[in-house]
Amino acid sequence: PPARKPRGRLFFANPGPTNIPDSVLLACAHNSVDFNDDDFFALYADCVAGLKRVLKTRQEVFLYTASGHGAWEASLVNLFSPGDRLLMLETGYFSEGWAQMARDLGLAVQTVAADWRRGVEMAAVRAALAADRAHAIKGVCAVHNETSTGLMLPVEEVRAALDETGHPALLLADTISSLASFDFRMDEWRVDVAVGGSQKGLMLPTGFSFTAVSEKAMAAHREARLPRHYFNWTNMLGRRHRSFVGTVPIALFYGLKESLRLIEEEGLDQVFARHARLARAVRACVQRWSGNDGPRLFCTNPARCSDSVTTVLMPPGHDAEAVRRTALQRFNVSTGGGLGRLGGQVFRIGHLGDLNEPMVIGTLGAVEMALRLNGVPHAPGGVEAALGSLTDSARG
Ligand code: PLP
């Protein structure tokens, strides 16, 4: 029989792309204008200023018509020369992807290995930096929020490790699934390059990404010799928009202006507080399920559990994809799948962007029903635990 199409609104609990607020969608529905017209340029300049406020930076921001991978590539080709060494802090699927890109571009990658469920040890980061007396390591790459595992990495502690060891390497941070969901401070933490994208905390369609770049990184850029063209910062500086080699994705900027307005109307700190309380509720639910050998938090290090995505590890012998399929096909709830080597073993509940309490409860309820329908052992009362957590948060 043809698949039944569930009615009602799709509950989108993917860790990116994320829900797009109606007012942002409407704002994006804008006809073409000349991107060099003064009216558009004024809106564009407002957007870039707003992005800097979210990044907490006064540095240059370069934007690209590309998804996050494009901004990753921009961060590498603009800063380094063939054979340069990077220190990649292992976090999961995305640190592996960034490392592979670096190798493909002709860079040497040294990895600080980590348990994906506990997160990298800062002592190991310090040891790797201290051992590099010749300062062969030119850049340290940190994924602020590893979207595959649901662990965050305290970038400020990576900065401290560089300072304590007196290591001059550039600090690169991937903020793709942390920005506008939990705190990131480019200038205070002296991050040299921050990589971000449109489709997660900024609540926009996929379509542009960006890098904020410190003066130290700009100096490195002037010496760097990897080939580059589409992402070349020097070329961009010569353009009126100081970004985009080619046509500016105009519609997304009408959307960005509105999403920045929403974020600043709520207040960045309130946005972070909302993400924190929704994340606590999701974790309370999963922790309850984990009784009776049920699904459990992939993250085993409470200090590192992410406020934007929770990765749920299935009990052995149970397929995460079956649970996801049931949630989607029966209840119209879309969760994220396991990436790379985690495929089938985990599913991911995204709780970032335009989300509130009933949306989270609806998602958790659908997942709990999907666990029952698939015969996955779990302790009852997960949704009840989330309700308790959210009620406690609401009482303040
Ligand atoms: N880095 C992180 C942490 C991500 O979550 C993602 C995408 O989910 C990427 C990089 C790659 O970004 P994109 O898929 O936009 O190319």
Tell whether ligand 1 has an atom less than 6 A from the beta carbon of residue 143: yes
Range list of β-strands (E), the chain = 11-13, 60-64, 85-89, 108-112, 137-143, 145-146, 151-152, 170-174, 193-197, 209-213, 296-297, 309-313, 333-337, 346-350
What residues are paired with 213 via a beta bridge?
60, 193
Tell whether ligand 1 has an atom less than 6 A from the beta carbon of residue 14: no
Q: How far apart are CA 396 and CA 393, in angstroms?
A: 5
What residues are paired with 193 via a beta bridge?
172, 213
Nearest residue CA, atom 12 of ligand 1? 68
- Quick one: CA dihedral 259, 264, 307, 373, positive or negative? negative
What value of ipTM does the predicted structure carry?
Answer: 0.99
Centre of ligand 1 to C-alpha 69, Å, is: 6
Query: Where do the domains of the chain lie, and which CATH numbers do they carry?
Result: 22-264 (3.40.640.10), 267-395 (3.90.1150.10)
Annotated binding site for substrate: 348
Tell whether ligand 1 has an atom less than 6 A from the beta carbon of residue 69: yes
Tell whether ligand 1 has an atom less than 6 A from the beta carbon of residue 119: no
Centre of ligand 1 to C-alpha 65, Å, is: 14
Cis peptide before 21 (omega within 30 of 0): no
Determine the pLDDT at residue 2: 58
The burial class, CB within 10 Å (0-12 / 13-18 / 19+), for 121 is middle
Centre of ligand 1 to C-alpha 312, Å, is: 19
The token pair that represents 211 in the structure block: 């890098």
Determine the pLDDT at residue 49: 98
The DSSP secondary-structure symbol of 94 reads H
Determine the pLDDT at residue 1: 55
* pTM of the complete model: 0.97
Would you give per-residue pLDDT tens digits along the chain (396 residues)? Answer: 556 678 899 999 999 999 999 999 999 999 999 999 999 999 999 999 999 999 999 999 999 999 999 999 999 999 999 999 999 999 999 999 999 999 999 999 999 999 999 999 999 999 999 999 999 999 999 999 999 999 999 999 999 999 999 999 999 999 999 999 999 999 999 999 999 999 999 999 999 999 999 999 999 999 999 999 999 999 999 999 999 999 999 999 999 999 999 999 999 999 999 999 999 999 999 999 999 899 999 999 999 999 999 999 999 999 999 999 999 999 999 999 999 999 999 999 999 999 999 999 999 999 999 999 999 999 999 999 999 999 999 998
CA torsion, points 49, 53, 59, 61, in degrees to nearest 10?
A: -60
